Amino acid sequence: MTLPALTLYLAAPRGFCAGVDRAIKIVEMALDKWGAPVYVRHEIVHNKFVVNGLRDKGAVFVEQLADAPDDRPVIFSAHGVAKSVPAEAERRNMIFVDATCPLVTKVHNEAERHAAAGLQVVMIGHDGHPETIGTMGQLPDGDVLLVETPADVAGLEVRDATKIAFITQTTLSVDDTIEIIAALRARFPAIIGPHKEDICYATTNRQMAVKSIAPKIEALLVIGAPNSSNSRRLVEVGSAAGCAYAQLVQRATDIDWRALATIKSVGITAGASAPEVLVDEVIDAFRARFDVTVEIVETAQENIEFKVPRALRQPA
């Protein structure tokens, strides 16, 4: 049987970023150093495949520090935690390792610097996302105001319109953030922002890669988890760039093959917490159904690496 021809455009960069790579390595090294079980507060990264793989090795995932025992090591996820979490771990004399992405830590430091300078902080982020909770938790309750859309800016009640600064969640859509920042600057001309955009390099690069393949494709598949902010933004970026069909899939078994039955070109990318093995799985699934030609569209090269905490580089 002759299979229908199909071109797969692989976006590059895609998949794991340096922060995710480091976080996974931290859990693996902690298991090597202290043995199982090692507790992890919240999913280390937002990907079931990754989390289940670490669970099989002896990691235990809990949502709150209260769910972890005092006598076993605990790791804080890549998304970051409020200041109260390590403070509680210290109070309980726990061994803990912070796997917060260094780019998220940079935003935490910015928030504290602004507050120390007497500025009220506005955060652009998604309500309820662990990164947003962790970043807002660097300062006392109520000291950080959250905005999710340009419309939210109009309703902000600030202490002093001449003394405010903004920070952003690292995994947002660059385009959406531009609109919100414009609204903030229009209402508060004196507002102070980061010298360089807080959207992380990996989020930006993956979004640019999707924009570059969008004109070539009839459908876009983003491999990632439903609770992964950066993966969901990639779907939105694809749709905004003209992809009539843009879908988030966790792995090959989630693909709706009926929707793709007559198409000739598909774009594939992966969120920053999705491993390349899942991309390979999706490509193999296409090869089983189509005569596939693969084209890689590279818009940037990434060679950033973050060191793991010193505690894990020292022997037990």
CA 49 to chain centroid: 15
For this structure, is 131 an active site residue?
yes
Catalytic residue (one of 28, 43, 110, 131)? 131
Is-contact 126 132, C-beta < 8 A?
Answer: yes
Confirm if 187 and 140 have CB atoms less than 8 A apart: no
Cα–Cα distance for residue pair 213/297, rounded to 1 Å: 7
Let me know the angle formed at the C-alpha of 210 by 208 and 213, rounded to the nearest 5 degrees. 110
Strand 219-223 and strand 265-270: the pairing is: parallel
Neighbour tally for 272: CB within 10 Å: 31
Cα(140)–Cα(163) distance, rounded to whole angstroms?
A: 17
User: How many angstroms separate the CA atoms of 89 and 105, rounded?
Assistant: 18
Give the burial string for 109-131 (b: 16+ CB within 10 Å, else e): ebbeebbeeebbbbbbbbeebbb
Residue with tokens 């793989």: 53
Which residues are marked as active site?
131
